[in-house]
Amino acid sequence: MALLAVGGLLWGAALLWGGAAAACGYESCPVTKPNMLNVHLIPHTHDDVGWLKTVDQYYFGVRNDIQHAGVQYILDSVISELLADPSKRFIYVEVVFFARWWGLQTEATRQAVRQLVAEGRLEFVNGGWCMNDEAAAHYSAVIDQMSLGLHFLKETFGECGRPRVAWHIDPFGHSREQASLFAQMGFDGFFLGRIDYQDKANRQALREMEQLWRASRSLEPPAADLFTGVLPNGYNPPMSLCWDQSCSDDPVVDDDSDENNVQSLVTYFLGTASAQAQHYRTNHIAMTMGSDFQYENANLWYKNMDKLIKHVNAQQLHGSHIHVLYSTPSCYLWELNQANLSWSLKHDDFFPYADGPHQFWTGYFTSRPALKRYERLSNNFLQVCNQLEALAGTQATVGPYGNSSSSQLRKAMGVAQHHDAVSGTAKQHVTNDYAKQLSVGWDACQVVVSNALASIGSSKENFVFCTYLNISVCPLTEAAHTFVVVVYNPLPRPVNQNIRLPVNGSHYSVTAPDGRVVLNEVIPVSSYTQGVRRDRGSAINELVFQASAPPLGYSSYTVSKVPGRNRAPSKLLKRLLDPALPGKRSPSWGIQNEVCADQNVSTLGFLVSLFVCLIFISRLARQAGSRYNASAGNSDNSQASGAYIFRPNDSEAFPISKEAHTYQVKTQVVQEVYQNFSRWCSQVVRLHAGQPYVELEWTVGPIPTSDDLGKEIISRFDTDLQTDGRFYTDSNGREILERRRDYRATWNLSQTEPVAGNYYPVNSRIYIKDQKVQLTVLTDRSQGGSSMADGSLELMVHRRLLHDDNRGVAEPLLEPGVYHDGLVVRGRHLILLDTAESSAEQHRLLAQQEFMAPQLVLMPGGGPPYQPGQPSLKQFSALRQALPSSVHLLTLAQWGEPDSILIRLEHQFERGESVNGSLPVTINLMNLFSTFKIVTVQEMNLAANQKKEDVRRLKWQPGTGTTRNRSVRKLDPTRITLQPMEIRTFLAQIQQEFHS
């Protein structure tokens, strides 16, 4: 029977059954039996937002030759079953799929579904646009994708659509920052599916499958405390109890038949439930009844669960103390809370994850590095788009360049956070689709940015977005004699940015907005760059200069070619074309500026003694490029290295080359050493004037596989620091966690992979330190990293593998690249060396500037005025004054209507990591922005789906210490105080003033 017919027939019945007593949330939970073991059956489906098929292929159910899955049919089938029987329940997670389905339904069906949600029988859990990855996703993107999904649920279903429970049943390891964010979003609990096999065995033995996660060392408890439970079977049903059409388990046969299996199934279920209960502390346990893309024929599941519930509960008449019921994660959580127990505390995270000996899921920290970089750049551009859309109002969305909005890129970024997207663990054609959707979103946001810049700058220009600047390609700058560079700064403080543009002239003048002539240099495009770009550009030189941009604003620089002047390359360049001959001493080259000296850049191998930064420090860091050869399986274990799994065939890394072709460039603006190690690996060591860090720009690929070996490429830094086996990585770009080699905080580790078992996700930075000195490396995308020896740290930058790792994707990680001969990746690491006490003041600000980099928009110049008689505006800031350096403007975006603005202010230092940076800061929100006036303001939770004053989270008792009840501060928008690592979220009604 079609869904429409079922909805029409049962709509009245659903209303009658619910009546005035219908309730959602904890009030809707079923009655349990206090003197029995209550088994909560949780009907669910796990619908990957892309993996083996694209998002569209999964929704519509096409390409079933790859995987039989059709999300639209799952929702059709489940809703019909729920409407037919008021005892049944179901949970749903992935809002991107539900929102699409919802948009195709009739109003009658929508009303029926609203009633199911109001009764708590259709419950949304997690509620994000997707179920995001926790290793490679940046906290900013996590917040955005969660807010996107939760906003849809709030607008569609009101308070009853607000999830109480976070539900990450499939991500491959769990970060502490993710738990902190969930707590700040108002969630009462968090359920996990995957944890390390040794960790799980230890927890089962100690009955610590559920505990309280204290997810921040900076936020005062219980702000970042989150009750966390590990599910018993990942997210699958117990063995032999899968009744989906994709399963082969026998159904429950309770008729008079030779096939009757009630007694055996009941006996098996009672034993399974009792065994599971041994690992948990209360008289409540949960069983996940569903799996990947199940419930396309929901009747199969519900008919068999009905019989199971009936026959198991019937045993209570014969002395059984097991009670089975349809339930949801929130109802299960409620019962745990009502048990009034105290719970042990967890302070670390759940990385790295292994599902068996030699099987560490640490390869995906780096897998598909080009997609990881594109996702990071897309988030950067989305924030620029959001800001300009908010600042220019309707003139950003409707203007001379077309009608558009940030919505398309927001949704594409939401999909990109999925745990098979940014993680790099989807099939190649799915990965291509993720990139395509991001590209479509970029196109839409380019219209918004063009409209906004024309409106604010009062000039209709032919705006050009050169997205291949990293390989020196930009048709405008290559051909034009004069052009303008708009440098938009999305940060709330002024920044300096090093600009590098492809040109074909040899001498240029650069003029700042105030008419000042800017020092610049012209440098030849390297042979490395020419080799990477191939036929995609023709520039022979690069124009380099430093630009500055005001907070939350832009500066326009005019560039003009100066005819008839050619510089002799010999005045700029010192070249070393050949490596040192055997037996001869290797020449060395030095680069330095006012604050850093880079000494002894060796031409032998990949070894580089990097720098002595800030005169009072005297440590050298030696950097090397190496590779691990990937395992294809061996006698110890058949596990191969693949998209998920990192498993080298040797614990030692091999140098990429024993020698390098090297040359040096010295100018007043920048000094560089170019090193070419092989036809597929090169590097530039770069030091700009005035910058207190060294930049390493690396280019890797196509990685050769002619020797039938997959390879995993690392960049390693060796120092004489005494680090005692410790190193430090960020958690999703925010708080820092200490790591120890061959150690886990909560169990005695039996190490089976000395390299892969010590790899951790590095979202933005990794560092080592001793009592005096700290070496910090900042990344431009998520990567895997470790410290394999004292004083050493390494980052994996690229992988090319020949074998699948047997985790479902069924493809080796063998990316074809643009020219189908292997993927070439270019990226950079920023290297900081400072005192341990002062390092945070550098790496916090620099990492944020790397993540929220200035956006370059180019134009020929000379466009007509936006309005007749209006002069163009060469410089602009949307802030009346810059924010303190410790405060970050995390979000500035339209929220629903043009006069509704979402603002998030963030303290970006941890407690105690900086003498000055870690102090509380107070901001006047009402007098902050110059383009609009705030009329009213309401403080919200982190996800902006609940007023801060209305947040009432369940209270949990920690096993040690006490938790102080935190009262909600009365909002004074003229005095917004931020404590270390605190994010405060505001929904403001505004009145535009810029164009009045």
- Cβ atoms < 10 Å from Cβ of 875: 16
Q: What is d(CA 665, CA 992) in angstroms, rounded to the nearest whole number?
A: 49
- Contact call for residues 198 and 956 (beta carbons, < 8 A): no
Q: Give the burial string for 438-474 (b: 16+ CB within 10 Å, else e).
A: beebbebbbbbbbbbbbbbbbbbbebbbbeebbbbbb
Strands 612-613 and 694-700: unpaired
Listed in sequence order, the residues at least 6 apart from 695 whose beta carbon sits closer than 8 Å to its beta carbon are 684, 685, 686, 687, 688, 828, 829, 830, 831
Burial 325-338 (b: 16+ CB within 10 A, else e): bbbbbbbbbbbbbe
Q: Which amino acid is at 15?
A: L
CB atoms within 10 A of CB 278: 10
Closest CA to 499 of 526, 519, 527, 524: 519
DSSP annotation string for 48-68: -SSSSS-HHHHHHT--TTT--
Asked if residue 624 lies in contact with residue 829, where contact means CB atoms within 8 angstroms, the answer is: no
Joined tokens for residue 496? 């300096």
* Residue 180, token pair as written in the block: 């902190």
Cβ neighbors of 601 (< 8 A, separation 6 or more) are 588, 589, 590, 591, 608, 609, 662, 664, 673, 675, 685
Tokens of 842: 């550098």
Joined tokens for residue 507: 């001498």
Termini Cα distance of the chain: 58
Decide if 504 contacts 566 (C-beta within 8 A). Answer: no
Q: Closest by alpha carbon to 330, among 148, 114, 126?
A: 126
The secondary structure of 368-435 as a DSSP string is: SHHHHHHHHHHHHHHHHHHHHHHHHTHHHHEETTEE--SHHHHHHHHHHTBTTTTTS-S-HHHHHHHH
Burial label, 996 (beta-carbon count in 10 A; 0-12, 13-18, 19+): exposed
Tokens found for residue 160: 């009853």
Cβ-based neighbours of 229, under 8 Å, separated by 6 or more = 189, 190, 191, 192, 209, 210, 286, 333, 336
What SS3 string covers 668-683? CCEEEEEEEEECCEEE
Q: Which two tokens stand for residue 346?
A: 């967890």
Q: How far apart are CA 703 and CA 700, in angstroms?
A: 7
Write out the two tokens for 539.
């520039």
488-517: b (≥16 Cβ within 10 Å) or e: bbbbbbbbebbbbbbbebbbbebbbbeeee
DSSP class per residue in 457-499: HTB----B--TBGGGTB-HHHHH-SEEEEEEEE-SSS-EEEEE
Q: Which amino acid, residue 857?
A: V
540 vs 472: CA distance, rounded Å: 9
d(CA 132, CA 421): 9
- Closest C-alpha among 255, 266, 251 to residue 313: 266
The rounded radius of gyration (Å) of the Cα atoms in the chain is: 29
**Active site residue ranges:** 170
